[in-house]
Structure 1
Amino acid sequence: MRHVLSLATALAVIAGAAAAQDDYPSGPVTLLVPYSPGGSTDRTARALATVLEEKWGQPLVVENRPGAGSMIGTAALAQAEPDGQTLLLNTAAFATAPAIQTDLPFDPREDITPITMVATSPYVVVGGAEVEAENFADFLAEAREDPMFFATAGVGSSSHFTAELLAQQAELPGDVVHFSGGGDANTQLMGGHADIYISTTASVMPYVNNGQVKALGVLGAERFELLPDVQSSGENDVEGIDINGWVGMFAPGGMDAELVETINADVNEAIRSDSFMQLLEENFVLPGDTTADEFSQIVYDEMDTWAGLAESRGISAQ
């Protein structure tokens, strides 16, 4: 009799879990954005939210939680229930920040569940008015002759780590100058307070297109298909840089595997919608559209890469 009851209980749990997936979401969904309103990640989140609201038939509220290199908003996600009603849209800063923030109030591998990569693009090296170079080859020569200041979006940001990675692999002298976010870094670059800024296409291409800064190169082995006239670091013999920028969807840790699969499928469908694809195209960005396992592997591999760079370059949170 005990075995019969145990089997019945197990079947009831399975049936309940299946019903939960069918009913998802059961109410309004909060989409945390760990950056200030108006930036490229915020715009991406709001565009994606519009598509998902229509699909889910539930309100999707974008809530900005900026600060600490995106870790304040990420910590809020880690504290949420793993029921899919709270999600997070973050950049590759999710992988860079833990390399130097060793006292986080959560474990980024255990307390957060990667869902899918939403969008991806290479990192673009852009130069301000004081930089004479017009391409990556000339930039390397100029930077080696006259050390430059590299703007970053803050200590531990992806722009900070990519600047350090380029300096290491290309053997460039120079210093990093930290600003309060990507918007501020772009503004300071245009104002002549830094020479170089490295960020994703969505962050820098609006300023390139209106002539305020110039695209000198993309980091990677080959040229980016959406910017075919911009040289790559690889074609200029700068090796060991095989990493792209991305924006991804995350959920709290401990989430049921079937619910992860459900949200992954829904978000990937939203990514492929006409309206969202148009936004990506306008920002020279490609759709991500990965499985949860694929995205998890990318995230964890990058965490290892950036931790190693932090150690070799002596990067700290100070």
Structure 2
Amino acid sequence: MKRASSGGAVSRRAMLAAAGCLAAPRFAAAQGEWPNKPVRMVVPYGAGNLADHVARVLAEELQQRWGQRVVADNQPGAGGAIGVQQIARAAPDGYTIGLVAMAALVITPHMTRAPYDPLRDLTPVAGVTVAAGSLTLRSELGITTLPDFVTAARARPAGDPFFYYSAGNGTVPHLNFEILRRTLDFPAQHVPYRTSPAGLADLLAGRVQATMDSFSVVLPAIQAGTLRAVVATPRRRLPEIPNVPSIAEVAPQVEFAHAWQAVLAPAGLPPAITARIAADTKAALEKPDFASRMPAGAGLFEAGPEELAATMRHDHARFGALVAELGLRSE
């Protein structure tokens, strides 16, 4: 009786093991079917923002490759923190991803108590684009080169410096102007606005004299001759203004922030899904018409998961130090 009972237990264990072996391929097959339903792409900004534009173009491309809807979902607020929090708290199953601009990941968390840790709560997946800026001045100033601008800034009376605008404390244009000012040692006064259009209106009206706003914001006024671009922030010339030098040509010691946008997902995303999204994003970027659908000054930022993670760590440390030096806090 005892032997028979033992044999029965062994037999049942063998049957369960066999059933598990049969179930494993079915489970693997189910995993391999990703995506088998629509994918939500959180955009932590309002409609019309550069990241929103990039997200919608990328969503169209991924939708064609995956055979499932990819829905760009705008979740603006708190400098991107509201949307990033939604990405971080989503299930790591590949059905919630995000298209996020670098400021919400490597600048904002140093200025406020963000409800996420960008280096712990997110999976870096793929770089997509990087937005250019330019040192842009009122044309009537008659300044055409960066050395002339620095000389003119140093020559102004102590109580009447050059005023420059950005769309708020801690934005990439704000930090880039401070990087330029500190590296080349000239005086200037920051004037933060709530939006780029408000600052641009005051630049055109002569209430401020300069900006390092996104190139896509200032390009129409440059083309109209009202504003003049003096130097471009990328380390290459911009095709829209080929006669304007890059920062690498005139002041290579200046290390500007590069305003990149990237695909991220919740922490714990399976490596196979991470690799799939990264590969399909890279394939979308390599299509000849992808770059042509981007706004002026937006170049491609082709980075896989490891390179993007390294970029995030580097920028998080660098801009954390700069934010602390400037004493910046969110309003």
TM, length-normalised to structure 1: 0.86
Deviation at 1:259, TM superposition (A): 1.1
Matches within 5 A, 1:134-173: 134-146=144-156, 147-173=161-187
Give the match's secondary structure for 2:291: helix
Question: Once the two structures are superposed, what CA deviation does each residue of 1:248-269 show, in whole Å capped at 9, x if it has no partner?
Answer: 1111112111111111111111
Q: For the structure 1 residues 272 and 253, does the alpha-carbon distance in structure 2 shift closer, same or farther, using more than 3 Å as the test?
A: same
The gaps in structure 2 that reach 5 residues or longer are 1-9
Match of 1:16 in 2: 27
In structure 2, C-alpha distance between the alignment counterparts of 1:37 and 1:295, rounded to whole Å: 25
In structure 1, C-alpha distance between the alignment counterparts of 2:186 and 2:305, rounded to whole Å: 37
Letter in 1 for 2:263: M
Q: How many residues align?
A: 314
Match of 2:231 in 1: 217
In structure 2, C-alpha distance between the alignment counterparts of 1:301 and 1:19, rounded to whole Å: 37
In structure 2, C-alpha distance between the alignment counterparts of 1:82 and 1:185, rounded to whole Å: 40
In structure 2, C-alpha distance between the alignment counterparts of 1:237 and 1:165, rounded to whole Å: 12
Q: Are 1:261 and 2:275 an aligned pair?
A: yes
Q: Are 1:306 and 2:316 an aligned pair?
A: no
Q: For the structure 1 residues 145 and 264, does the alpha-carbon distance in structure 2 shift closer, same or farther, using more than 3 Å as the test?
A: same
Question: Once the two structures are superposed, what CA deviation does each residue of 1:119-158 show, in whole Å capped at 9, x if it has no partner?
Answer: 1254322223564312322222222223222211222221
Q: For the structure 1 residues 238 and 317, does the alpha-carbon distance in structure 2 shift closer, same or farther, using more than 3 Å as the test?
A: farther
Deviation at 1:171, TM superposition (A): 1.5
Matches within 5 A, 1:1-318: 16=27, 19-20=30-31, 22-93=32-103, 94-101=105-112, 103-129=113-139, 131-146=141-156, 147-219=161-233, 222-224=235-237, 226=239, 227-237=241-251, 239-280=253-294, 283-318=296-331
Q: For the structure 1 residues 15 and 264, does the alpha-carbon distance in structure 2 shift closer, same or farther, using more than 3 Å as the test?
A: farther
Q: In terms of Rg, which structure is larger?
A: 2
For the Cα contact (< 8 Å) 1:165–1:241, is it kept in 2?
A: yes
After TM superposition, the structure 1 stretch with the greater mean CA deviation from structure 2, 287-296 or 176-185, is 176-185
In structure 1, C-alpha distance between the alignment counterparts of 2:277 and 2:23, rounded to whole Å: 23
Q: For the structure 1 residues 236 and 88, does the alpha-carbon distance in structure 2 shift closer, same or farther, using more than 3 Å as the test?
A: same
For the Cα contact (< 8 Å) 2:129–2:302, is it kept in 1?
A: yes
Q: For the structure 1 residues 313 and 31, does the alpha-carbon distance in structure 2 shift closer, same or farther, using more than 3 Å as the test?
A: same
For the Cα contact (< 8 Å) 2:62–2:284, is it kept in 1?
A: yes
Give the match's secondary structure for 1:199: coil
For the Cα contact (< 8 Å) 1:39–1:183, is it kept in 2?
A: no
What's the Cα RMSD here?
2.9
Deviation at 1:183, TM superposition (A): 4.0
For the Cα contact (< 8 Å) 1:113–1:252, is it kept in 2?
A: yes
Q: For the structure 1 residues 188 and 90, does the alpha-carbon distance in structure 2 shift closer, same or farther, using more than 3 Å as the test?
A: farther
TM, length-normalised to structure 2: 0.83
In structure 1, C-alpha distance between the alignment counterparts of 2:52 and 2:315, rounded to whole Å: 23
Deviation at 1:40, TM superposition (A): 2.0
Q: For the structure 1 residues 25 and 313, does the alpha-carbon distance in structure 2 shift closer, same or farther, using more than 3 Å as the test?
A: same
Letter in 1 for 2:209: D
Match of 2:3 in 1: none
After TM superposition, the structure 1 stretch with the greater mean CA deviation from structure 2, 3-12 or 114-123, is 3-12
Deviation at 1:304, TM superposition (A): 0.5
Q: For the structure 1 residues 16 and 239, does the alpha-carbon distance in structure 2 shift closer, same or farther, using more than 3 Å as the test?
A: same
For the Cα contact (< 8 Å) 2:139–2:225, is it kept in 1?
A: no
Q: For the structure 1 residues 55 and 261, does the alpha-carbon distance in structure 2 shift closer, same or farther, using more than 3 Å as the test?
A: same
For the Cα contact (< 8 Å) 2:107–2:323, is it kept in 1?
A: no
Q: For the structure 1 residues 148 and 117, does the alpha-carbon distance in structure 2 shift closer, same or farther, using more than 3 Å as the test?
A: same
Q: For the structure 1 residues 44 and 179, does the alpha-carbon distance in structure 2 shift closer, same or farther, using more than 3 Å as the test?
A: same
In structure 1, C-alpha distance between the alignment counterparts of 2:325 and 2:38, rounded to whole Å: 45
In structure 2, C-alpha distance between the alignment counterparts of 1:241 and 1:194, rounded to whole Å: 25
Q: For the structure 1 residues 160 and 61, does the alpha-carbon distance in structure 2 shift closer, same or farther, using more than 3 Å as the test?
A: same
In structure 2, C-alpha distance between the alignment counterparts of 1:10 and 1:217, rounded to whole Å: 64
In structure 1, C-alpha distance between the alignment counterparts of 2:100 and 2:284, rounded to whole Å: 17
For the Cα contact (< 8 Å) 1:219–1:241, is it kept in 2?
A: no
For the Cα contact (< 8 Å) 1:129–1:190, is it kept in 2?
A: no
